[in-house]
Amino acid sequence: MKKIKYLTIVLTIIAASLYTTSCKDDFAEVNTNPTSVTSGNPSYLFAQAILEFEPQGYLYWFYNASEIFQWVQTAVSTGSVTSTLANGAPAQSFKSIDVLKYANELKYVRSEMPEEESAKYAKYAAAIDVLCVYMGIFDTDFTGDISYTEAAQAAHGGTLTPKYDRVEDLYSLWLKNLDDDMKTLTAKTGQIYPAQDPVYAGDTEKWAKLANSLKLKIAARLIIQNRNRALEIAKEVVDSPVGVISEEADDFLFNKAISAIGDNDSNNQDYVYHWENDILQTVGGSETMIDFLVKNRDPRVRFIFKKNQWSSEVVQLFLDDEKKAKDIPHFIRENMVTETDGDGVDRFKEWKEPGEPWVRYYGLPLDFDAAHKAAEFGDWFNYTVRSQYDSNHTYRPYSTFQTEMLQGRIDFTYPSVPEETPAQDAEDVPWWGMYMTSAEVNLYLAEFKLLGATLSETADAYFNKALKASVKSYDKLAAKNKIPYYGTTYGHDSNEKPIDLVDGEIETMMANKDYQLTDDKTLNLEKVYLQQIIHFSLQPIDQYTTARRSGIPIAGSSLFPRKIYTEVPVTKIPRRMALNQPSPTDLMHDILINSYKAQGLSVGSGDILNTERLWQDKGAPQWGQGPLGN
């Protein structure tokens, strides 16, 4: 049975009223009159908005991520692909509200100040608004129309039943807001720079670059409905003197805190380390995904997925036992070189090219119901029998998702052999998250250039920048999060190698034709979209949105083919999350029902999750079809 960390999700739009009281309590503790302090509330609200900024919460990773990976075919359940593929996943509660309430509270606090004093905090408001837009894009990717313009205002006279805004209207609003935010953030007036800023340390010009870059995220979502406008936005972004996220120092990649106040406070612990409960433990990388990355010597395979547990030491353990030797998975055996000693026992000699660490990454087959076809796929799925040495030692032969890129409180135990004390990494590591980087920016620009945007550089130039930046971002994140095998081999196996990025690896990767653009525009677009999907491995909703609007992976592709199932055709694979019937006593009941009807959406799951599409997805290619109208 799945473990749920939170039994209920409570969404409140009046919680903002509590924070002013909290601020007063803080002032009381230091014996200071709160009426004489005018800068406390804005600083607090800004810091708290960043703390609550969490577009990808626990339930999202618990429920939605594993489904998304299977729909896009980058990962697969360790139980193999089955008809549950068509079941859909529940839509999560709106996340933008978590930050929007602080934006509205700051607006109120500033309205109570003298005009000259209020103006000093304009940059605080602009930076929080950038976070709101980011979260709003996330929400609309999930469920379409959302409450936004009237939401989180009840504490100061607003409604308890905010209207639902249309996605297309929100895109227009956010584009305008981001333009305004950029002007405010780059103004050279006497404003106060945001304090307590773990993102950019008060550098508002970098916040402005983030705002400008976010416009590309919206443009990508307009490609199907209004391509001309999307390409115009791309040109506006590139021509803006504000600039974009263009180097590692500009990346929206940060951690919120390095320690928690009150070790017994689970919320504080989550802010620092992310969640304690497991996620994605039953998800392995797909054979298509991992084979593509390994074949092209893409270092990101080591940061997205875990090494399997078959070190050369484990291989030798099985070789030493004649009865167990036959249980070495065939795909592992194909990558090893052995020699027979004087007693007739096979001895592990070395790994075949490309050697460690590449030979430790294997994906699960995407074939339908493969777990129940032992003769064909038993080496992968029946590992608890075939890869079990004794009751205490079972070795997983395939690569699972690298969960320590998402959680800082996971203990790693090195795969040891009997009578060996296993090495263990039980250190809690403050978690670093990746939200938007120069890789994402340049992949969008490469796409828009191929689609006809008038931009300053070639698609090839943007593409090459993106590939380098993506690998470096993943390597940085892996180092910060101290994932298994980063910087260490644990000292048990002389053939083991760490997973750190090595000089020259990026150049080796980019020398492969799969990572180079040519004169074939259609193939180039496929390569760009595929790299977007790979880069978004830690942002599943972005991966899903990219696959949904592009039709990538393409069925029959020679690059990264989509597996087509006769049992579950592509017309049954969900293109949105499932909506629940609101309770009759819910104050928002009628508004929700009317919003669903206006969008042409029904509650529940089934085929409707493919046929009833969100506004931004209407007219987009079907799964596996590839880009339309190139």
Tokens of 249: 């120092």
User: What local confidence, expressed as pLDDT, does residue 260 receive?
Assistant: 77
Q: How confident is the model at residue 194 (pLDDT cuts 50, 70, 90)?
A: confident
Same domain, residue pair 214 and 199: yes
Residue 72 lies in a domain: no
Residue 279 located in a structural domain: no
CA nearest to 548, candidates 628, 478, 485, 494: 628
What is the pLDDT at residue 419? 87
Domain membership of residue 316 as a residue range: 284-575
Examine the pLDDT at 24 and tell me if it is beyond 70.
Answer: no
Confidence bin at 266 (pLDDT 50/70/90): low
Does residue 215 lie within any of the structural domains? Answer: yes
Residue 413 · residue 424 · CB < 8 Å: yes
Total domains, the chain = 3
* Neighbour-count burial for 557-581, b at 16+ CB within 10 Å, e otherwise: beebbbbebeebebebbbbbbbbee
Residues in CB range of 123: below 8 A, 6 or more apart: 184, 185, 187, 191, 192, 193, 194, 204, 207
Residue 228 lies in a domain: yes
DSSP codes joined into one string, 30-94: TT--GGG-SSHHHHHHHHHHHHH--SS-HHIIIIIHHHHHHHHTSEEETT-B-GGGGS--BPPPP
Evaluate whether 9 touches 90 at the Cβ level (below 8 Å).
no
Give residue 196's pLDDT.
Answer: 85
- Closest by CA position to 617, among listed 167, 301, 237: 167
**Any domain includes 157:** yes
Lowest mean pLDDT among 77-81, 465-469, 471-475: 77-81
> pLDDT tens digits, residue range 405-452?
999 999 999 999 998 998 999 999 999 999 999 999 999 999 999 999
CA–CA separation, 580 and 279 (whole Å): 23
User: Would you place residue 262 in the very low, low, confident or very high pLDDT band (cuts 50, 70, 90)?
Assistant: low
224 Cβ partners below 8 Å, 6+ apart? Answer: 549, 616, 617, 618, 619, 620, 628
Is 0.85 topped by the overall pTM? yes
Candidates 205, 182, 183, 181; CA nearest to 193 is: 205
SS (H, E, C) 178-228: HHHHHHHHCCCCCCCCCCCCCCCCCCHHHHHHHHHHHHHHHHHHHCCCCHH
Question: Final residue of a domain: which of 228, 244, 260?
Answer: 244
Claim to verify: residue 400 and residue 540 sit in the same structural domain: yes
CA–CA gap between residue 285 and residue 304 (Å, rounded): 9
pLDDT reading at 599 higher than 80: yes
Q: Are residues 457 and 598 in the same domain?
A: no
Question: Among 478, 423, 427, which residue's Cα sits nearest to residue 313?
Answer: 423
Does residue 603 sit in the same domain as residue 553?
no
State yes or no: pLDDT of 476 exceeds 50.
Answer: yes
Local structure of residue 254 (DSSP, 8 states): E
Average confidence (pLDDT) over 252-268: 79
Shared domain for 225 and 318, answered yes or no, is no
| Average pLDDT over every residue of 543-572 | 97
Mean predicted confidence (pLDDT) in 3-13: 29
8 A C-beta contact, residue 539 and residue 434: yes
Query: Residue 578 above 50 pLDDT?
Result: yes
pLDDT reported for residue 191: 78
Clarify whether residues 548 and 598 are in a common domain: no
Q: In CATH, what number is assigned to the domain containing residue 147? A: 1.25.40.390
Residues 557 and 591 in one domain: no
Residue 444 lies in a domain: yes
Q: Are residues 446 and 372 part of one domain?
A: yes
Q: Could you tell me if 403 and 321 lie in one domain? A: yes
Contact partners, residue 292, CB within 8 Å, separation at least 6: 298, 514, 559, 560
For range 487-504, the mean pLDDT: 95
| Mean pLDDT value across residues 161-167 | 97
pLDDT tens per residue, range 274-316: 998 889 988 999 999 999 999 999 999 999 999 999 999 999 9
- Any domain includes 457: yes
Rg (CA), the chain: 26
Considering the domain architecture, whether residues 447 and 589 belong to the same structural domain is answered as no
SS3 content of the chain, % helix, strand, coil (to 5): 50, 10, 45
Same domain, residue pair 554 and 606: no
Q: At what angle do helices 227-239 and 204-222 cross, to 10 degrees?
A: 160
CB 313 within 8 A of CB 417: yes
CB 516 within 8 Å of CB 444:
no
| Per-residue pLDDT reduced to its tens digit, 513-528 | 999 999 999 999 999 9
Contact between 541 and 72 under an 8 Å Cβ cutoff? The reply is: no
Return mean pLDDT, the chain.
Answer: 91
- Does any domain span residue 438? yes
pLDDT band at 195 (very low <50, low <70, confident <90, very high): confident
User: Is pLDDT at 208 greater than 50 in this prediction?
Assistant: yes
Note the pLDDT of residue 35. 38
Among 575, 595, 623, where does a domain finish?
575
Q: Are residues 226 and 194 in the same domain?
A: yes
